Structure 1
Amino acid sequence: MMAVAAGKEKTKALWRLEPKARLSPLDARHAQDELADVAAAAAEDELPRLARFLSAKGPVQDFLAAVFDLSPFLRDLARRRPQILDALFDETVEERLAAIGQAIAMAPRAEGVSEQSLMMELRQFKAEAHFLIALAELAGVSETVLTVRRLSSLADASIRAAVDFLLRDAHGQGKLKLVDPENPTLKSGWVLLGMGKLGANELNFSSDIDLVVFFDPFAPAVIDPLDATELFSRLTRRLVRILQDRTEHGYVFRTDLRLRPDPGSTPLAIPVEAALNYYEGRGQNWERAAMIKARPVAGDIAAGEAFLKELQPYVWRKYMDYAAIADVHSIKRQIHAHKGHGEVAVKGHNVKLGRGGIREIEFFVQTQQLIAGGRFPELRGRETVPMLGELAGRNWITAEARDVLANQYWFLRRVEHAVQMVADEQTHMLPEDDEGLERIARMLAYKDAETFAAAFRAALLQVEGHYAALFEAAPELSAGVGNLVFTGDVDDPDTLQTLHRLGFQRPSDICRVIRTWHFGRYRVTRSAEARERLTELTPALLEAFGKTRRADEALMRFDEFLSGLPAGIQLFSLLQSNPGLLRLMATIMGAAPRLAAIITRRPHVFDGLLDPALLTELPNRAYLSARLAAFIDGDRAYEDVLDRLRIFAAEQKFLIGVRLLAGSIDATRAGRAFSDLADLTIGAALEAVSAEFAQRHGRIAGGRVALLGMGKLGSRELTAGSDVDLILLYDHDEDAEDSDGERPLAPSHYFARMTQRLIAAVSAPTAEGVLYELDLRLRPSGNKGPVATHVGSFRKYQRQEAWTWEQMALTRARAIAGDASLGAELEAEVAAILALPRDAAKVRADAGEMRKLIEEEKPAHDLWDIKLIPGGLIDLEFIAQVATITGRLTGAERTPGTAETLARLAPDYADATTTRELCDAYSLYLSVTQMIRLCLTSAFDKNDVPPGLADLLLAATDLPDFGVLEAHLKETSQKVRKDFDLLLRGKRS
């Protein structure tokens, strides 16, 4: 017995890792089987002492059995490479890791080394080091602080080996001329900064490594500065491949280069000067915080140190003033501090990013560093816990805060490592199942999951208590919104959940868009102040867009809008201080693609929204006339006048639409406003054209011009997207022959040419767009007739040759611009023509036949094709027009408006009930069509209605539900068609 005991003692003494922690497997029998499998692998690989050792009994064997049961990753690695365990008979973990570090450093110097052979060696060395580092922490012989330093040193060594190899390779190919090939990084100009946990020497077990790569194009090793960007970017790309490509030997480190300046639009390696310009001109708050941890890890270390030194004024503000504190808090405003509300769930909790997690401790430290580090250089350290000590030493935080946060930091890091050691996955989430949580508890030497959960929950609550207290004075998001973190270049999981909860279907895309704002790629976000204002506005913006129920589209349109703005501070401040305006902006972006497209193409139209009286002032003719006069006042060139008319019309169309959208005007008033705007701007265009034309061609003796507005313009019922129907009429002295200019023209040619010039002035696209699309087909003889018509010809045609439909169209004619006296004469003539006696039966029959022809040639698409559906707008317009030209109206004066005409139907033509039904129908149709035409540029598709537009339609019609609205439209159209058949066809439908 004594001999056996002595043998065991001797065997035990050979093992150089004595576990202090007692781990319990999930399944003791399964654990022994796993240990036996590794022993068998050792025997197969001719490692007899390891095989004997693993087959023996004792605390070391129990420890290893538990490890292999709890961590499939470590078990599989031990099976594949039992030599890793066998080496611990000859060296301690520390000695073996030192040897691995030396081997990694020598790897690129080996004779005949290739990229593939280096990749294989680095992967094998890394796997062994990874295993040993994990085993030492699980055994309790290495504190977590030592683990993170060992992992960071391993990463440093691997990066340096790859960099050395690549520099020598570039030297051998004549791409670089190294100062000293034996010391390839010397004055190479290639700067590799480790960021985040790598920079702070705090890597976690399965961590990515964050690198930022710069280069000096004028470094001694660089042959051609013009080729440097491509060369170093290519070398960086190869570096990433060497480190992270998965092969049969695994990978070294996943490598992330996205913390470089503006990663979406910059090369992998950036010139030092360009980087400095970026940070000093466009650098963001989170980038300041990130630079605290930046450390030269490979390449030209001296150049890296020089770069960081030059960057110090950007990172470390000299004076701690309120602006600096607000600057730091602008990062905080993206993060919701829960302040202990609600129970902390343990299962599925994100140890890094969740409530009370590692990120909160790191952020706690970094914000204090940013505030105070400018004055106290000792607060500029990279490592989290030492900086807690420095902050306490200078009374920036209490000793209690230091001790609590330091203890919980290392506790949470241990938990993070355990989570990652299970399967070597870059995860920070605790398992959501009971067995998974029990596994983590036992890896951390807790007796069960319940005990671990209690300790974990207590740690989180302590951390979030200190974290929330740090920002008690900082503005919070709306209650219950959740995390909104857009710093860095990796999506924050809680933020994705928050965005989804707010109504965004593609939260990752939304994060990418918001990060684009932060990078200052748009003119509107170039200044630090604008970015901070936008950062503060973002939560409210996201909430408002979320309520449109087309949140993704709304935000994408807003992004397009931002991309065209010249500046943003005023806008962002206004939106922040005016929730109503913010809601209106969200409505435009979510429900009104037409308006969104207008402000995207012409951001200046948004300036009109800055007027505080916008929603209280009615856009009547006097208001628009005064504004237009001021806008085109002064001695301006012809082209300038036309451009300013386009600018004015676009802005006012937009603002009229906004008033309709906001409910400050109704559909009828909107129609009048759109029509008044067309009258005034087309009238101003006519004046400009007439004056310009007269400079070359002179004037006709007694010449007068007037424009008749027809269709919806004549009836003052224009919508946001309406074309404009016009007839240009002229008169002159009977004996007038040619104009009196240097290039005289006969009257008919003169006015025809001037009309063509007017059409071009109004409809030709310029840099400022189109004023209006003009339609002159309602003139006598339509497209076959001359574009300009003499009043005599007009009078004769209308009295002797016009078809019934042309006289029906004339009921909406209205003089809108030109010579006032001629306009008055035309109005009187139109009234006289419409009052002529007619065969009422023939008129009704002609109208009925024409309506039938329209239905056959242009059938309605569906119920929402309100103009064309049976019982739709055309039916109502025909009823009004026929009543006008057959004298079936009350009162003497003609009214071109359809609504007013329907209200005046003679009692012997339509009874009071029918008249009321027709008026109600027109009001309904007008409300619906005005809103649809305002919001949409395409046809209305009832299966794809923006929810915001549906809400606007319900508000405009005062109906409770979209289905009710659709049923109401259907019922209304059936009534109108019945009335149409009765009044125009003399039959009941």
Structure 2
Amino acid sequence: MRLTDETRLSDICACKIRPLSQTEVKSVLSDLKDIARDHHDVAKLLVSESVLKDFVVAAFSLSPFLRDTARVSPELLSIAITEPLLPELRQAIAEARGAWDPALNADVSEAAVMARLRRAKRKVAFLTAMADLAKLIDGRQTTALLSDLAEAAVGAAMDHLLLSAEASGKVKLKDSIRPSAGSGMIVLGMGKLGAGELNYSSDIDLVVFFDPQAEIALDPGEATETFARLVRRLIRIMQERTADGYVFRTDLRLRPDPGATPLAISVDSAMLYYESRGQNWERAAFIKAKAIAGDVPAGESFLRELTPFVFRKYLDYAAIADIHSIKRQIHVHKGHWEIAVKGHNVKLGRGGIREIEFFVQTQQLIAGGRMPALRLRSTEAMLQELARTGWIDVATATELTEAYWFLRDVEHRIQMVRDEQTHVLPETEAELRRIAFMMGFADTAAFADALVTVLKTVERRYGDLFEQEAKLSTEGGNLVFTGQRDDPDTLATLRKLGFQRPEAISQTIRTWHYGRYRATQSVEARERLTELTPELLKVFGESKRADEALLRFDTFLSGLPAGIQLFSLLGNNPRLLSLIVNVMSSAPRLAEIIAARPHVFDGMLDPRLLAELPTRTSLAERIAAFLSGARHYEEVLDRLRIIAAEQRFLIGIRLLTGTIGGAQAGRAFTHVADLIIEAALCAVQREIEAAHGVFPGGRVAVLGMGKLGSFELTDGSDVDLILLYDYEGNAASESDGPKPLDATRYFARMTQRLIAALSAPTAEGVLYEVDMRLRPSGNKGPVATRIASFAKYQEEEAWTWEHMALTRARVVCGDESLAEEARTTICKLLERKRDVSAIAKDVAEMRALIEQEKAPKDIWDLKLIPGGLIDIEFIAQFLTLVGPARGAELPAAAMPTGEALAIVARGQMDPNSLDTILQALRTYTEISQIVRLCIDGPFDPKEAPAGLVDLVCRAGDCPDLKTLEAELRRLSKAVRRIFQATVTA
């Protein structure tokens, strides 16, 4: 039944409730007699033998709150028994809405406004409860009336506060007759208030924003504090207990980051928060959000803008995990034991109201982005829409709708007893009988039967929405990863293991077990992974950033072509898991290498991996042994790619774990490159000789330039090469094979084959990118250079920058006699006495040109920043070139920049400056090696994995990025000053 404008309480034809006891009846009658002395209508009721009298006595015996209200405000009882109820309720709500209005009220002080709102609340609560108990209205109309009152009260309070703020000179309103209009003050009702489903004793959940564009604050700089104070007064108006009671308890904890934000924040800040940091539980909360007060059009506009955050475009099953974490009792037990009635929480308990709400909300979050029809606020309307659109069947919608309103009726009666914000049924038989009678049942047994039936219906329907879970036992607790929902015990276990976001981790692992990745598609792979998971979680949980490490491992798994081999390897070698954690938390580049070439793991099985760094000799033996079985040229090259990738990976692992430093890593990477280039050259020579024969007296040597020459390669570095050759006889000579070639073409062909062998991409990857631009005449010159031409060019034509490059030239491999000639040639060139002024001018101009054409992006561009690696390398090269003119000692051969500087700087630079440069070089080298190992491209702290940030700080020997940045700026400025002081005549 629903109230009409004519419906009166006296219209009830039978009393649907019974008094708690005869003792209570006598006590109620005594109170009514006291009221009747001054109220004729009550006196008339008392002398009647009517259904209405029986109802009032029963209602007051069951609800101390209603009985106390009648004693305090007996006029409300007179209205209830004589007047049509709906007009009175509307009038009370209208009076609440106008409580602020000077046109309606002579006194608009805050105390007067508060008193009016409290009187309106008492009237609406009393009349609604009486109509509810009399079954003249149902839960739908009850919640609607209470929600309307709350909206009216908040709206009135806001209008009063805005008018008051204008009077105190804080704001300038657009329209003082309608204070909220155009004010930009947005008050959103959340939860049951937003949905129009408020309880008798509900808190009201509010979120308040302000729009600076409305420009009502006279001092924009104080807007946040002005509006925050306004909201604090709003809370006081609503919930402070006075002689007239209170209006609604008010909660603002649903605002963004409530522990760190003011009570009112700007709409721009709010939008930025939701777009960048908004949580899934906030998405669920905003499903029911409604603009209820203040500038309502602005609020509605804000909610429209927020729609993409709340309702995402794609199916969003992952959000369900976070939503369920709000409700720890979510675990559905099917038929394991009976649901208790006494002490049961009808909102949060099994089969309760929250499960119906979550039943609806989870599906709204999943599909609301694609289906606007699933964006309704009210629970019943959404159940009907879910049935209409085929998400659930009609029977489910009907059962859950009926259950929802039954449980809401129970909830209302629990709160109606003493106006307490509780959802828990009484523990005692006597108090439970009170609720049973208020619900219209003859006894507690009948009520309990009906309630249990409803709770089980909800539990069953809710349970049907999610799969029953299978469990893995661990010493630390249960781990549940099947079904679509999270088990609170599992989340607790994950949190105990060290994960900060257990819901995300749970969802990730469910993805593995669903077989959505190629690596987990086979039953055997999933079984191996299932067995591995507890230990995997334990080891990942011990890392500093467990969540990030495991999620990167998930990214790695998603790209694996197969998983059985890896899962078996990890299962049989737990030591590898620690290394996996390091890789996954800090080095996506290494993770990609593992994904592309799982065989690199084989080298990690060596127990000596982290105990010692292989020498050049041991590396040569390992590479030779790996190549020994290869019979064809392509097989040799593929094996070279495999062994090179493995050895570079293993050096990288040592660097990652801190077993070696950046300089050691540079030398080790260079040793591998030397040996690979040598092996590739031998293979190429055999191929050339097979096709074109041997060139008479032919000799070949490969010069390594740049970082290859100075033993400073990083993982992934290019190699700068120059191929030198020589032969006996004149230029008319040819090779002696079936397809003879002259010298130029013979050695050019050899060089081209060597470049292809090193840089051609294959299924096993690329060995090295090759740069030949440092050869005589650069890209315009022949790819291979005869030693005599090389010497002549360097003596007569080479630019200063080419001689600078020679300071790092080193023979990598080839004929030893030609190699010695090359060393002698280079040594003579470097020992030449040069014009110091001319060299200084050339070096300074070259540095300025680089700075102009390749400006550094930020402080992390350690190569290009002023005072960075280029400055240090140029200092070393300049001092080497001018050293003979100054009588300085030169290095006997190419060596790392720091070692070369320590020699050539003697007598050319003061020790303090040298120490500064060497300190900067060590710092730059350590950081560069780690960055190049872990990622492709530049280092951006905002985008870098957290583990890499930690490694970079470790490499720079600083506790955090801020300190490290300051140290880099200090060092680079010092190096730039030294560069400017050194590179001078």
Secondary structure in 1 matching 2:741: coil
Cα distance, 1:838–1:421 mapped onto 2, change above 3 Å: closer
SS at match of 1:859: coil
Q: Report how far residue 880 of structure 1 moved.
A: 1.1
Superposed, 1:535-684 pairs within 5 Å as: 535-544=533-542, 547=545, 550=548, 554-560=552-558, 564-573=562-571, 577-578=574-575, 581-684=576-679
**1:442 pairs with 2:418:** no
2:862 matched to which residue of 1? 866
Q: 1:590 is paired with a residue of what secondary structure?
A: helix
CA deviation profile, 1:591-621 (whole Å, cap 9, x unmatched)? 2222122112222223322222211120331
The aligned residue for residue 894 of structure 1 is 893
Counterparts of 1:574 and 1:543 in 2: how far apart (Å)?
A: 19
My pick for the range that moved more, 665-674 or 522-531, is 522-531
CA distance 1:690–1:420, change in 2 (3 Å): same
Name 1:244's counterpart in structure 2.
Answer: none
Give the C-alpha shift of residue 483 in structure 1: 7.4
Q: Return closer, same or farther for 1:679/1:439 CA change in 2, 3 Å cut-off.
A: same
Q: In the alignment, which residue of structure 1 is the partner of 2:724?
A: 729
C-alpha separation in 2, matches of 1:69 and 1:954: 71
2:958 alignment partner, SS class: coil
The SS at the match of 1:490 is coil
For 2:716 and 2:624, the matched residues in 1 are separated by 24
Equivalent position of 1:966 in the other structure: 965
Q: 1:276-675 maps to which residues of 2 (within 5 A)?
A: 350-353=328-331, 359=333, 383-385=335-337, 420=352, 424-426=356-358, 439-442=422-425, 475-477=474-476, 485-492=480-487, 510-522=505-517, 524-525=519-520, 526-527=523-524, 529-544=527-542, 547=545, 550=548, 554-560=552-558, 564-573=562-571, 577-578=574-575, 581-675=576-670
Quote the Cα distance in structure 1 between the aligned partners of 2:965 and 2:726.
Answer: 50
Quote the Cα distance in structure 2 between the aligned partners of 1:925 and 1:933: 12
Tell me how far 1:552 sits from its aligned partner. Answer: 7.2
3-state DSSP of counterpart to 1:822:
helix
Which of 120, 139, 144 is equivalent to 1:72?
A: 139
Partner of 1:933: 932
Question: SS of the counterpart of 1:441?
Answer: coil
Change (3 A) 1:632 1:72: farther
Distance 2:549 2:420 in 1: 37
Displacement of 1:485 in angstroms is: 3.2
Amino acid at match of 1:384: H
Amino acid at match of 1:560: S
Q: How far is 1:905 from its partner?
A: 2.8
Equivalent in the alignment of 2:772? 776
Q: CA deviation at 1:708?
A: 0.4
CA distance in 1, matches of 2:878, 2:14: 115
> Are 1:351 and 1:428, in contact at CA under 8 Å, matched by a contact in 2?
no
Which letter does structure 1 place at the counterpart of 2:601?
A: F
Letter of the 1:962 counterpart: L
Q: Which residue of 2 aligns with 1:918?
A: 917
Query: CA deviation digits over 1:170-222, x for unaligned, max 9?
Result: xxxxxxxxxxxxxxxxxxxxxxxxxxxxxxxxxxxxxxxxxxxxxxxxxxxxx
Shift of the alpha carbon at 1:807?
Answer: 0.8
Partner of 2:791: 795
Equivalence for 1:699:
694
2-structure distance, mates of 1:571, 1:560 = 18
8 Å contact from structure 2 (residues 472, 478) kept in 1: no
Partner of 1:707: helix, strand, or coil?
strand
CA contact (8 A) 2:500 2:547 kept: no
Determine if contact 1:420/1:426 at 8 Å carries over to the other structure: no
What is the correspondence of 1:711-750 to structure 2 with a 5 Å cutoff? Answer: 711-735=706-730, 737-750=733-746
Relative distance call for 1:418 and 1:447 in structure 2 (3 A) is farther
Q: In structure 2, which of residues 823, 845, 849 is the aligned counterpart of residue 849 of structure 1? A: 845
The reply on whether 1:760 has 2:743 as its aligned counterpart is: no
Where 2:704 maps in the other structure, the secondary structure is: strand
Asked if structure 1 preserves the Cα contact closer than 8 Å seen for 2:343 and 2:426, the reply is no
Write the distance in 2 (CA, Å) between the matches of 1:64 and 1:444.
Answer: 27
Give the 3-state SS of the residue equivalent to 2:425 in structure 1: helix
Structure 2: how far apart are the matches of 1:10 and 1:70? 13
CA distance in 2, matches of 1:69, 1:806: 99
Closer, same or farther: CA 427–903 of 1 in aligned 2, 3 Å? same
Residue 939 of structure 1, CA deviation: 1.2
- Deviation at 1:723? 0.9
Q: Quote how far apart the aligned CAs of 1:760 are.
A: 1.3
- Which residue number corresponds to residue 140 of structure 1? none
* Residue deviations 1:337-381 (CA, integer Å, cap 9, x gap): xxxxxxxxxx9863343xxxx64xx6xxxxxxxxxxxxxxxxxxx
SS in 2 for 1:855: helix
Give the number of equivalent residue pairs. Answer: 622
Q: How far apart, CA to CA, are the structure 1 residues paired with 2:427 and 2:709? A: 83
Number of the residue aligned with 2:817: 821
Q: CA deviation at 1:897?
A: 2.0
Query: CA 1:941/1:549 → structure 2, altered by over 3 Å: closer, same or farther?
Result: farther
Q: Give the direction of change, closer, same or farther, for the CA distance of 1:817–1:497 in structure 2 (3 Å limit).
A: same
> Is the Cα–Cα contact under 8 Å of residues 17 and 133 in structure 2 kept in the other structure?
no
What fraction of aligned residue pairs are identical, expressed as a percent? Answer: 45
Shift of 1:806: 0.4
CA distance 1:570–1:410, shift in 2 (3 Å): farther
| Deviations 1:630-655 (CA, angstroms, capped at 9, x unpaired) | 22211422112111211221222111
Superposed, 1:187-202 pairs within 5 Å as none
Distance 1:731 1:426, change over 3 A: same
Q: Secondary structure at the match of 1:701?
A: coil
Q: Is the 8 A contact 1:73 1:424 kept in 2?
A: no
Residues 199-218 of structure 1 aligned to structure 2 (within 5 Å):
none
Q: Give the Cα separation in 2 of the matches to 1:11 and 1:835.
A: 113
Shift of 1:832: 1.9
Find the aligned partners of 2:64 and 2:740 in 1 and give their Cα distance. 105
Which residue identity is paired with 2:566? Answer: G
In structure 1, C-alpha distance between the alignment counterparts of 2:138 and 2:607, rounded to whole Å = 65
Cα 1:437–1:707 change in 2 (3 A) is farther
Residue 780 (structure 1) shift: 0.3
Determine the C-alpha separation between the residues in 2 that align with 1:813 and 1:557: 41
Contact preservation (8 Å) 2:758, 2:770: yes
> Aligned residue for 1:954?
953
**Post-superposition shift, 1:73?**
6.3
Displacement of 1:954: 2.2
Q: Check the 8 A contact 1:752/1:787 in 2, yes or no.
A: yes
TM-score computed with the length of structure 1 as normaliser: 0.55
Q: Return the offset for 1:861.
A: 1.6
Structure 1, residues 741-779: CA drift from partner, whole Å, max 9, x if none? 111111100111121111111111111111110000000
Q: Tell me which moved more, 755-764 or 770-779.
A: 755-764
Task: Give yes or no for contact 1:524–1:567 (8 Å, CA) kept in 2.
Answer: no
C-alpha change, 1:592 and 1:25, in structure 2 (3 Å) is farther
Rounded Cα–Cα distance in structure 2 between residues aligned with 1:967 and 1:679: 37
In 2, Cα distance between the equivalents of 1:669 and 1:422?
A: 61
CA RMSD of aligned residues (A): 4.9
CA distance in 2, matches of 1:546, 1:74: 54
**Which ranges of structure 2 fall in alignment gaps of 5 or more residues?**
1-12, 19-59, 71-75, 87-128, 145-320, 362-406, 436-469
| Aligned counterpart, 1:836 | 832
Q: Which residue of structure 2 lines up, in the alignment, with residue 374 of structure 1?
A: none
